[in-house]
């Protein structure tokens, strides 16, 4: 048989091969043909070489990737793979290298930047995986807490905690056979990630004599790590919101021979140090110093970007700010401070890649359970079901055993209390499934493993929707995916209701005037609104306008003045450190608690109603709430206004996150939707935001976008006779 490539009506590849390694080669090759530009961007991101063709704007990421040791960690993890898994990964890489020339010839971005496709190394897929997930657990949130404690006060350290509220995550749910029309389980959900074009997930089917699996792959990584259906068993994940990466405050000093020492629990010890150069297209190269202590690589401070007070500056040899230790970069023999990152794969040399081929061969829930025992990063909540009625709901991944303070703040490297406990991992929780179970990044199963979780709104709403039926079908699941009820609006709506009822309440020392007729009209419309964030809803647009006006006023309150100055950290961490977005996502909390007096909050709500009433009628929600995908190189003739409007909002089940008060554009939404039917795999459904191809003029480049926007799902096709066979490729040998 060799290798056979088929396509369905959506251009989704279905691959058949004589054995697992031939199949891995085929997966690598078809991915390179379909996604060459995407793969090369990811390879360069992992190596810290994107600025060489994308320009100075990527220097910050390249510096972080080099100093965090992403590529070197991938090499170490690859070298520790068992021979069977290593051979399988090599086969995938061989396929990528075989397909890149053809794929690059179809992708105009290569010519636009003068880039030739490079060569993938056996460890490159592991580096791509690390690059994709190194910021996934959100360790920069510890920098934010540090700044809040330092500038606002220790008592407010967790004021902006995510379940009070914060960033969105993913949805997933499992319904047991006694609550479905078929009598077999259904697994469904949608991962919420930053939307990239091409998409971060690739629909694909992999078949050989050992298995026949379909699901969602990460381009550049073999197998189906997150979402798959073998016909006998299916699985899915969401982010467990666990904390497993630590930041250490290091004290460093230069030695006479130009080396570096770091202060640890046992005194001063040598640190590794060398210099690298980041090439920059159209600019001068940037020299950086790469330092690694016994805790981990230095990512902030001299040798790793700025640290300290407001006067700290960008650059590898930048001066330490006023709040840091004595000395600058130690050139005069003084001691300086920096921050290092400790993350499990760097410590253990394990990334969990042996799990991937095991999942493909799974036949039962027990097989999936055993496989994910070896999972490392990211830490996930896993759900699985099989055709015999088996159900699984557990956490998988490596969370190190260490002091609780490590999870909250930057901790001192020189104190033994904050060391990891001999590579030990915290036991991962599990739970029984009774009727149905939901995973949506909220506190619950993974609560012992994390600090900040998503608000409970999505999980509670999905639970309510699932409880409404005992005869679920795959098609009916779309109604859960597309639910636009916005529970997080309740607190602001309560404040809007009180705005007219408390007219005599003093605000900032003055009597509160009655609302104007226009503001009363806005108030009445909001209180009659059905709370649904539909793209065509003018009342949802009105709510968003009032919400944004409240957020801006809160962020401008004198109580937060100390947090308005830019945080003294590299630009790559700034999305976690900006006050405005933090206030926007913590609005529910700040309306009822925090340093802003209640009377001022009430006044802001009244002022927001007046502002919106005095201005032009806000447009329907989808006019401003538009898709804003990340693209390494946007199409030359494409404008932001070309992207369509979206339904949903941050805390809706149909989640599409913006930054209220600053932009309604949504960079984060459903990176895929899926429904796995255990009664009949061909009754399963899936969708991605764009299409199977990353090539601009391919008919399957964005053919799924209209269906995705409507919340629709494409059918899964498994009958080979209903697929179109491509011409054979014989470049394996």
Tokens 């297209």 — which residue?
A: 281
Band (pLDDT 50/70/90 cuts) for residue 727 is confident
Are 73 and 142 spatial neighbours (Cβ–Cβ below 8 Å)?
no
- More reliable by pLDDT, 167 or 32: 32
What is the C-alpha separation between 236 and 225, in angstroms, rounded?
Answer: 9
Mean pLDDT of 690-699: 96
Band (pLDDT 50/70/90 cuts) for residue 613 is very high
Reply yes or no on whether the pLDDT at 331 is more than 60: no
Band (pLDDT 50/70/90 cuts) for residue 136 is confident
Q: Report DSSP state, residue 477.
A: G
Helix axes 517-528, 598-614, angle to 10 degrees: 100
Q: What's the pLDDT tens digit per position in 496-506?
A: 999 987 654 45
Reply yes or no on whether the pLDDT at 273 is more than 50: yes
**Lowest-confidence pick of 164-178, 192-206, 396-410:** 164-178
Reply yes or no on whether the pLDDT at 42 is more than 90: yes
What is the C-alpha separation between 112 and 387, in angstroms, rounded?
Answer: 50
Q: Which residues contact 202 (CB under 8 A, 6 or more apart)?
A: 31, 34, 35, 216, 217, 218, 219, 688, 692
Reply yes or no on whether the pLDDT at 410 is more than 50: yes
Are 454 and 167 spatial neighbours (Cβ–Cβ below 8 Å)?
yes
Domain ranges of the chain: 141-164+487-531+538-619, 246-342
Band (pLDDT 50/70/90 cuts) for residue 510 is low
**Lowest-confidence pick of 131-145, 166-180, 574-588:** 166-180
E-strand ranges in 279-413 read 286-292, 298-300, 335-342, 380-386, 391-396, 411-412
Mean pLDDT of 327-356: 86
Containing H/E element for 436? strand 436-439
Band (pLDDT 50/70/90 cuts) for residue 94 is very high
Give all strands of the β-sheet with 171-175 in edge-to-edge order: 436-439, 171-175, 186-190, 673-677, 685-687, 714-715
Q: Report DSSP state, residue 381.
A: E
What is the C-alpha separation between 701 and 240, in angstroms, rounded?
Answer: 32
User: With b meaning 16 or more CB within 10 Å and e meaning fewer, what string describes 600-623?
Assistant: bbbbbbbbbbbbbbeeeebbbbbe
Q: Which residues contact 582 (CB under 8 A, 6 or more apart)?
A: 144, 160, 563
Reply yes or no on whether the pLDDT at 479 is more than 70: yes
Mean pLDDT of 48-62: 97
Mean pLDDT of 184-200: 96
171 phi/psi in degrees, rounded to 5: -110, 145
Are 141 and 135 spatial neighbours (Cβ–Cβ below 8 Å)?
no
Mean pLDDT of 512-520: 92
Closest CA to 294 of 329, 264, 273, 266: 264
Mean pLDDT of 530-549: 98
Are 14 and 720 spatial neighbours (Cβ–Cβ below 8 Å)?
yes
Give the per-residue pLDDT at 311.
33
Alpha helix ranges (H) inside 556-615? 579-585, 587-590, 598-614
Q: What's the pLDDT tens digit per position in 637-647?
A: 666 667 999 99
Are 304 and 67 spatial neighbours (Cβ–Cβ below 8 Å)?
yes
Band (pLDDT 50/70/90 cuts) for residue 308 is very low
Reply yes or no on whether the pLDDT at 591 is more than 90: yes
Are 651 and 488 spatial neighbours (Cβ–Cβ below 8 Å)?
yes
What is the C-alpha separation between 621 and 536, in angstroms, rounded?
Answer: 6
Q: Which residues contact 204 (CB under 8 A, 6 or more apart)?
A: 12, 13, 14, 15, 27, 30, 31, 214, 215, 216, 217, 224
Mean pLDDT of 468-489: 97
Band (pLDDT 50/70/90 cuts) for residue 635 is confident
Which CATH fold topology does 246-342 show? Penicillin G acylase, beta-roll domain (2.30.120)
Looking at the DSSP assignment, which residues form a beta bridge with residue 702? Answer: none
Give the per-residue pLDDT at 137.
86
Give the per-residue pLDDT at 329.
58
What is the C-alpha separation between 420 and 146, in angstroms, rounded?
Answer: 21
Rg (CA), the chain: 26
DSSP string, 680-720: -GGG-EEE-SS-S---TTSTTSSTTHHHHHHT--EEP---G
Which tokens is 3 given? 């290798």
What is the C-alpha separation between 670 and 662, in angstroms, rounded?
Answer: 21
Mean pLDDT of 580-602: 96
Give the per-residue pLDDT at 508.
45
What is the C-alpha separation between 32 and 38, in angstroms, rounded?
Answer: 9
Reply yes or no on whether the pLDDT at 423 is more than 70: yes
What is the C-alpha separation between 138 and 617, in angstroms, rounded?
Answer: 38
Band (pLDDT 50/70/90 cuts) for residue 422 is confident
Alpha helix ranges (H) inside 397-537? 457-467, 478-481, 490-501, 517-528
Task: Say how many CA atoms lie within 13 Å of 669 toward its Cβ.
Answer: 34
Helix axes 490-501, 538-555, angle to 10 degrees: 80
Give the per-residue pLDDT at 316.
32
**Lowest-confidence pick of 21-30, 307-316, 428-437:** 307-316
What is the C-alpha separation between 275 and 712, in angstroms, rounded?
Answer: 51
Reply yes or no on whether the pLDDT at 315 is more than 50: no
Reply yes or no on whether the pLDDT at 164 is more than 80: no
Closest CA to 673 of 707, 622, 717, 719: 707
Give the per-residue pLDDT at 320.
31
Give the per-residue pLDDT at 521.
98
Average per-residue pLDDT for the chain: 92
């Amino acid at each position: 048989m060799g290798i056979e490539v088929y396509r369905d009506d959506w251009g989704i590849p279905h691959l058949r091969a004589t054995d697992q390694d031939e199949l891995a080669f085929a997966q690598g090759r078809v991915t390179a043909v379909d996604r060459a530009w995407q793969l090369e961007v990811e390879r360069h991101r992992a190596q810290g070489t994107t600025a060489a063709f994308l320009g100075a704007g990527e220097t910050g990421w390249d510096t972080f990737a080099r100093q965090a040791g992403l590529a070197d960690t991938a090499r170490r993890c690859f070298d520790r793979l068992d021979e069977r898994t290593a051979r399988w990964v090599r086969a995938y890489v061989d396929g990528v290298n075989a397909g890149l020339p053809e794929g690059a010839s179809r992708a105009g971005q290569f010519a636009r930047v003068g880039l030739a496709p490079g060569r993938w190394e056996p460890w490159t897929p592991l580096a791509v995986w690390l690059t994709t997930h190194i910021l996934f657990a959100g360790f920069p949130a510890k920098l934010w807490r540090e700044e809040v404690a330092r500038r606002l006060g220790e008592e407010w350290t967790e004021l902006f905690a995510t379940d009070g509220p914060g960033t969105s995550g993913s949805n997933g749910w499992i319904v047991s056979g006694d609550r479905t029309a078929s009598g077999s389980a259904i697994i469904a959900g949608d991962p919420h990630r930053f939307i990239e074009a091409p998409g971060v997930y690739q629909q694909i089917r992999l078949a050989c004599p050992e298995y026949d699996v379909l699901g969602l792959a990460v381009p550049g990584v073999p197998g189906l790590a997150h979402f798959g259906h073998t016909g006998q068993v299916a699985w899915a994940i969401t982010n467990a919101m666990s904390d497993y990466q630590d930041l250490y405050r290091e004290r460093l000093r230069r030695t006479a021979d130009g080396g570096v020492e770091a202060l640890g629990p046992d005194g001063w010890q040598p640190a590794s140090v060398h210099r690298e150069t980041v090439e920059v297209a159209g600019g001068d190269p940037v020299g950086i110093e790469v330092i690694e202590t016994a805790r981990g690589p230095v990512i902030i401070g001299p040798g790793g970007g700025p640290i300290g007070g407001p006067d700290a500056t960008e650059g590898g040899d930048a001066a330490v700010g006023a709040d840091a230790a004595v000395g600058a970069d130690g050139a005069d023999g003084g001691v300086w401070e920096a921050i290092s990152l400790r993350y499990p794969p760097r410590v253990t040399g394990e990334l969990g890649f042996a799990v991937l081929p095991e999942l493909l061969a799974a036949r039962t829930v027990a097989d999936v359970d055993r496989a994910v025992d070896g999972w490392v990063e990211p830490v996930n909540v896993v759900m699985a079901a099989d055709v015999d009625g088996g159900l699984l709901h557990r956490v998988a991944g490596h969370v190190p055993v260490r002091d609780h303070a490590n999870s909250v703040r930057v901790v001192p490297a020189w104190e033994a209390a904050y060391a990891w406990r001999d590579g030990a991992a915290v036991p991962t929780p599990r739970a029984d499934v009774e009727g149905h179970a939901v995973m949506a990044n909220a506190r619950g199963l993974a609560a012992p493993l994390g600090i900040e979780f998503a608000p409970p709104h999505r999980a509670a709403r999905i639970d309510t929707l699932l409880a409404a039926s005992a005869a679920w079908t795959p098609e009916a699941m779309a109604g859960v995916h597309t639910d636009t009820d916005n529970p997080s609006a309740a607190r602001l709506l309560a404040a809007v209701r009180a705005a007219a009822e408390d007219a005599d309440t003093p605000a900032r020392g003055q009597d509160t005037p009655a609302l104007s007729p226009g503001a009363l009209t806005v108030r009445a419309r909001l209180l009659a609104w059905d709370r649904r964030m539909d793209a065509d809803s003018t009342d949802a647009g009105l709510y968003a306008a009032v919400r944004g006006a409240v957020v801006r006023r809160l962020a401008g309150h004198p109580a937060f003045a100390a947090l308005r100055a830019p945080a003294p950290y590299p630009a790559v961490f700034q999305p976690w450190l900006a006050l405005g977005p933090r206030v926007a996502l913590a609005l529910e909390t700040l309306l009822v608690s925090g340093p802003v007096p209640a009377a001022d909050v009430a006044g802001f709500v009244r002022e927001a109603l007046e502002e919106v009433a005095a201005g032009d009628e806000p447009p329907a929600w989808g006019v401003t709430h538009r898709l804003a995908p990340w693209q390494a190189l946007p199409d030359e003739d494409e404008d932001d206004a070309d992207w369509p409007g979206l339904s949903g909002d941050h805390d809706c089940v149909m989640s599409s996150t913006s930054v209220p008060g600053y932009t309604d554009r949504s960079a984060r939404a459903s990176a895929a939707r899926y429904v796995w039917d255990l009664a009949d795999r061909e009754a399963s459904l899936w969708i991605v935001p764009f299409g199977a191809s990353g090539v601009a003029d391919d008919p399957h480049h964005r053919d799924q976008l209209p269906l995705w926007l409507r919340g629709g799902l494409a059918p899964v096709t498994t009958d080979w006779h209903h697929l179109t066979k491509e011409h054979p490729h014989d470049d394996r040998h």
